[in-house]
Amino acid sequence: MALHGYSHFQHLPLNLTDIDRWATEHGGPSMTWSGLQTFPRSVSIDTRDPSRIVFWPIEEIFTAHSSEVVVPGQTLAANASIDLSGVGTQLDIIATFKGNFSAPGIRFGVNVFVNGDTEATSVMISDQAQLGPWMPDTDLPGADYYINNTFSTDSDPHPCQALCLADQRCKSWTFIAPGIQLPTSRCCLKDGVPAPNPHAGMTSGVPASQPQLNNTFFLTVGYASGPFPFYADETLAVVRILVDHSIVEGFGKLQSNVSHCDAI
């Protein structure tokens, strides 16, 4: 899948700049939606970090709402979840979370099912406390620059870790044991540090020499992830999910800070 982006000034009278992107799939099973347009979003400068560009759905999307369902606030215990009823092919889900986001190992978000999927697409915000040099049963999906699909028939991840440590480009790695995806093991070296996902049979790591992203959370949508900074005074977070049939786009906002990530 590839996303092609361009900016335009369709709403000049409103002083609004938005970006549209076209999605195309290469070699996948569903070529029928090639050329599908993703949701338009506004683009602005992060007021607390001028070096960052942030994205958020344009306000005009609210005018397309046909009905609204409001769920009263609830207190969630650690590792708990609640089920929310709601069915539709086009949804705009806005979930607001309030809490102490400076606590280590924090992870929260929303799961959605689209077009009869047997597995949910997760839109999650998490901190970096989960990262380490050796993480069993953990996948770091994405950011691969080297994949060896016939690495060995051994289930030992250490040779894959050694490849990463020997390559200055490598910022993280994932080893996939034989039988999980292929008869042989796979070794994936990455030039980024994706958000970790639990996955049996996979071992991942971030070299101890790799500088961590200070004050950074991850926004993860499905298997796509991206970092965005947070600040110690943040106590309110918003997860927003736009669903259009099989398209899922996720946005995360910690009060003044906005980030964006796609999954299709």
pLDDT tens per residue, range 29-80: 443 444 445 778 888 887 777 777 778 888 888 888 888 888 888 888 888 8
pTM of the predicted model as reported, rounded to 2 decimal places: 0.66
CA distance 201 to 169: 25
Tokens 């070096």 -> residue: 51
Which tokens hold the place of 165?
A: 């440590």
Extents of the domains making up the chain: 2-64+89-113+240-263, 132-205
CA distance 57 to 61: 7
pLDDT tens per residue, range 203-260: 999 998 776 545 567 888 776 777 767 666 778 888 898 888 777 888 888 765 566 5
One DSSP character per residue, 176-213 reads: E-TTTSSSS-EEEEESS-PPPEEEEEEEEE--TTSPP-
Query: What is the homologous superfamily of the domain 132-205 according to CATH?
Result: Hepatocyte Growth Factor (3.50.4.10)
Q: CB of 235 within 8 A of CB of 100? A: yes
